[in-house]
Amino acid sequence: MCLAVPMRVIEVRGDMGVAELWGVRREVGLHLLEDVEVGDYVLVHAGFAIEKVDPGEAERTLEMLSEIAGA
């Protein structure tokens, strides 16, 4: 039940927005975040964006995993 997916924000109007994943668009509540902008990736759970995805941290994690994997 704690499923959440990273979706790209394509529209923001006040507390509501539209986000997209794999061509599927959904209305999402933005009540739980500050300053969401079009183009941001947000983690969506139960129709609400619960956090912004941090692109820099994602890349750092992938680098670290490659290091552990010795790739």
Q: How far is the CB of 65 from other proteins (least distance, A)?
A: 6
Question: Does residue 68 sit in helix, strand or coil?
Answer: helix
Q: For other proteins, how many residues bind (rule: CB under 8 A)?
A: 38
User: In whole angstroms, how far apart are CA 31 and each of 25, 50, 61?
Assistant: 18, 9, 28
How far apart are alpha carbons 68 and 54 in whole angstroms? 21
How far apart are alpha carbons 45 and 51 in whole angstroms? 10
Q: How far is the CB of 45 from other proteins (least distance, A)?
A: 6
23: contact with other proteins by CB under 8 A: yes
Q: State the residues that interact with other proteins by CB under 8 A.
A: 1-6, 8, 21-23, 29, 31-34, 41, 43, 45-48, 50-55, 57-58, 60-62, 65-66, 68-71
